Amino acid sequence: MVDRVVVTGSAGMLGRHLADHLVATGHEVLGVDVRQPADPAPRWRHRVGDVRDLSLMTKTLAGADAVVHCAGALPSYPADQIQSVIIDGTRGVLEAARRARVQRFVHISSTAVYGLPKVVPTPEEHPRRPVDLYTRAKAQAEEIAERFRSDGMCVPVLRPKTFLGPGRMGLFAMLFEWAEEGRNFPILGGGDVRIQMFAIEDLVDAVVGVLSAPADVANDTYNLAAAEFGTLREDFQAVLDAAGHGKRVVSLPARPTLAVLRLLERTRLSPVYGRLLHKLLADSYVSIDKARDRLGFLPELSNRDAILRTYAWWRGHRTDGSPHSGGRTSRDAWRQGALSLAKVFF
């Protein structure tokens, strides 16, 4: 029975939603993050700390039944922090869990470890083929988790697609802002690629399922994503329709637009990073058959549900705090840079 759970990255979007859900279902939760939670009075205990601090984490994990390791770094972080937080942080929390004799360690990874796979739907057996610093760090963190698993620890590894829900900002805030202002929204090429996403509510349910599953079932690697999803054009158009201005998704010629965006990325005038650019030009979805068959994973929300629920939340909270930040967390609206100047053409 898992009663006491430590959630790392508890000030982040996933960590906060997960901690709230666990408390609501009767668990004792201790959150750990370098930041204070957004809620000044969270329903769970919170400790400010760095997951790379082995001594602190060993003390923090004492008496815990399980750890859910949500802490990490985004692609927007400086290179040294991506390496340190993702790789060293994962290694440190795993070692602390071993010293504290924690029964189960749920590692939140990402489908980004596949790189830019040509096989869709991509199964868990597909090789890890990282294509940049961030994906290499995520892949190395998984390798570390697998070593602890081979040494006898129960280490479920979850690979979610990009997840959305209340609190999610990042690059999605640009779509929401343009929609709200009554602008058309540009898309690379025809926008007919199928890009799978995921609702935060379904991700939380999957984590809870892994915490309660028998060890021989949980101790594996699982893709997690929406079961129902359409094209990127359809999902973006749903947001424009919800805004009510009659605007449309507008196709841009892929090759010249890609060249411009690459230049803006190199000059730090755009938050759209290289791997994302390539993802927008090809189908990107994974198989969730394994999670369905072994865990009973049945996501309730579609891509469209997830993005529209996030947009509805954004409409009610868009004036909270700074409108644009450097993208330190998925709760921040990233600076649009030169892309904000392109608004006048749409």
| Position 106 pLDDT exceeds 90 | yes
| Position 319 pLDDT exceeds 80 | no
| Position 332 pLDDT exceeds 60 | no
Joined tokens for residue 320: 């909270």
What's the mean pLDDT in 91-112?
A: 97
| Position 165 pLDDT exceeds 90 | yes
| Position 9 pLDDT exceeds 60 | yes
Cα–Cα distance measured from residue 194 to residue 308, given in angstroms and rounded to the nearest whole number? 17
**Residue 274: predicted pLDDT:** 54
Helices assigned H by DSSP within 100-159: 133-150
Closest C-alpha to 306, from 247, 229, 231: 229
CA 245, chain centre distance (Å)? 30
Q: Is residue 17 classed exposed, middle or buried when 0-12, 13-18 and 19+ CB atoms within 10 A define those classes?
A: buried
Which comes out higher in pLDDT, residue 318 or 24? Answer: 24
Segment 238-295, tens digit of pLDDT: 999 999 999 999 998 877 766 666 665 666 555 555 556 666 778 999 999 999 999 9
Ordered structural domains, the chain, with CATH: 4-163+197-224 (3.40.50.720), 166-195+227-284+304-345 (3.90.25.10)
Segment 168-226, tens digit of pLDDT: 777 788 889 999 999 999 888 888 999 999 999 999 999 999 999 999 999 999 999 99
**Residue 253: predicted pLDDT:** 83
Cα–Cα distance measured from residue 48 to residue 51, given in angstroms and rounded to the nearest whole number? 10
**Residue 327: predicted pLDDT:** 46
Residues whose CB is less than 8 angstroms from the CB of residue 244 and which lie 6 or more positions away in sequence, other chains included: none
What's the mean pLDDT in 89-104?
A: 97
Whether the predicted model's global pTM rises above the 0.85 cut: yes
Closest C-alpha to 92, from 60, 48, 55: 55
